[in-house]
Structure 1
Amino acid sequence: MENKAAFSLEKYFFSKVDINLENRKSNDLGISFEPSGVFLSDSSSYELKFIFKADTEGGEIPFVAIECVATFKFENVNDIEEIPTYFYRNSIAIIFPYMRAFISTVTLQANIPPVILPTMNLSSLEKPLRENTTQI
């Protein structure tokens, strides 16, 4: 009988926060997410890097860029090929509420109109995350 892969969130932190209001050209926001990951085979853990960027129409450089790093621990996974496909979608869904709350808090504390993200279906990020995952 084959053991099912299980994973849990071990920790997360915000490794980079950049707010540059000189890059904010209007109130029309455009947002983007850039997921990537590294599977650490020696510890059966996965490091997810989740980058959020907010820019405005006419702005070439984001006025808010926030990078979150989350570490997930696997059971019964020893190689990148053994990571179940549902992990990629679920890992983003697990970390997104923390990212969303942090974005609201940090932009509010900057005394600017806060960037308040709605709940979002980010399942479209599953494929980019899988494609931007490496193993060391």
Structure 2
Amino acid sequence: MAALEFKNYIVNDVSYIKNKYFDNSEKRINLRPVFNADFKIDKNNIQVKLNVLVGSLEDKKVPFKVECEIIGEFIYDEDQNDTEISKETIIKNNTVAILYPYVRQLIASITQQSNEYPTYILPTINVARVLEKQNKK
């Protein structure tokens, strides 16, 4: 058994809103995802809320705004951690890495269903590193 066990996730919120200010003549679309993660740790039980925002309703270079929030449930077993990596590091890095593909799929699905613009697929990234960089700004 691993030190971190993924139990489940739920979709807490998903929204898609078309940007009425979008200028179709723009050659470049400016989609820069913004990530946020909140961690609740109660002994060995961990709850992670991962939020992703893509797009805008004000920027004329962006066709839509998509927001997604999922909550993941994990169990951490200290006895199974046979590495020198701290509990905090394992939780912050691994939980968001586990949840990220679910967010990617949700955003791809909702943008595909809009039936107006090409499907937007979030890039494959080290989301823990991106969160760390965002938090430093």
TM-score (norm 2): 0.71
Q: CA-to-partner distance for each residue in 1:44-87, whole Å, 9 max, x for gaps?
A: 2111000010124953xx7111101101112238xxxx734232
Partners of 2:91 and 2:123 lie apart in 1 by 23
Aligned pair partner of 1:98 in 99, 102, 113: 102
Query: Is 1:111 matched with 2:115?
Result: yes
Query: Is 1:73 matched with 2:75?
Result: yes
Gaps spanning 5+ residues in structure 1: where? 131-136
Q: CA-to-partner distance for each residue in 1:20-48, whole Å, 9 max, x for gaps?
A: 1136635321211111111123xx21110
Partners of 1:51 and 1:63 lie apart in 2 by 13
Aligned to 1:50: 50
Partners of 1:95 and 1:50 lie apart in 2 by 7
Partners of 1:125 and 1:119 lie apart in 2 by 11
**Distance change (3 Å), C-alpha of 1:126 and 1:6:** farther
SS at match of 1:13: strand
Partners of 1:98 and 1:71 lie apart in 2 by 13
Gaps spanning 5+ residues in structure 2: where? 24-28, 80-85
Question: For this pair of structures, how many residues does the alignment match?
Answer: 120
Partners of 1:120 and 1:24 lie apart in 2 by 29
* Alpha-carbon offset, residue 127 of structure 1: 4.2
Partners of 2:20 and 2:70 lie apart in 1 by 21
Runs of 4+ in 1 over 6 A off after TM superposition: none
User: Considering only aligned residues, what root-mean-square deviation do their CA atoms show, in Å?
Assistant: 3.1
